[in-house]
Amino acid sequence: MIFSLLFVCVFSSLTTSHSLSCIECKDATDVPCTGDADTCDENEVCVSEFALTLIDGIPVVKLFMRGCGNQAQCFVSSSLSIPHARIISSSSCCYTDSCTPPRPVLPPITSKKNGLICKGCQSMEARPCDSDLYMECIGNETKCISQVAMSSGTPPTAIRGCATPSVCAVRHEEGTFGHLKFKSDITCTDGGAGLHYSLHLLGATFIFMFKVIN
């Protein structure tokens, strides 16, 4: 989920020689949730991610998720904005069975424009959305992003807006979180030509949060 795949990451020098068991849960809160332990894939670690959704600059939705994830998702902060909405997330990791990662700390919230202008849209379709609407990017969101995400039992979601480079760092992603199966594809650009394709835990985070917005 964990947001994020991102990432400009902080890799741990610790390697795993066996599969960990990690607590898997999600809750609409800013405190760590709890749940049953799930066996991770080999070389995955235990990840916590906290995400906050803002509508027109006002915090409205919190989401805390825990589960298995790649070390590339560890200790990474990310954000993604579409017209009138923004998701900010941060992650942390630990490396023993059923451990509790440190509580993730969100980066400072800013409204300072950075000069990048991107198209902005949202639709319930399994193909990229498009629009004549443009938005001014803020903070460290220095990439224009287009994402198509699908999850079991819910309609697909397509968005276009601004994102931090960390959101664009991981390519096509498919995974499961509990009974949810999800799939995400991202394209990013600096605002000009030359798209490149890039979203386990983080992919799920953005999917959950945008379902709430819808």
Q: What is the pLDDT of residues 45-60, one digit of tens each?
A: 999 999 999 999 899 9
| Per-residue confidence (pLDDT) for residue 169, from 0 to 100 | 79
Consecutive 10-residue runs of the chain (214 residues): their mean pLDDT?
A: 33 48 91 91 91 92 91 90 94 96 92 95 91 94 93 86 88 66 87 42 51 49
| Per-residue confidence (pLDDT) for residue 7, from 0 to 100 | 28
| Percentage of residues of the chain with pLDDT beyond 70 | 77
Q: What is the pLDDT of residues 67-109, one digit of tens each?
A: 998 888 899 999 999 999 999 999 999 999 999 999 999 998 8
| Tokens 């983080």 sit on residue | 202
| Per-residue confidence (pLDDT) for residue 205, from 0 to 100 | 54
| Per-residue confidence (pLDDT) for residue 150, from 0 to 100 | 85
Residue 57 Ramachandran class (φ > 0 left, ψ -120 to 50 alpha, else beta): left
76 phi/psi in degrees, rounded to 5: -125, 140
pTM assigned to the model: 0.75
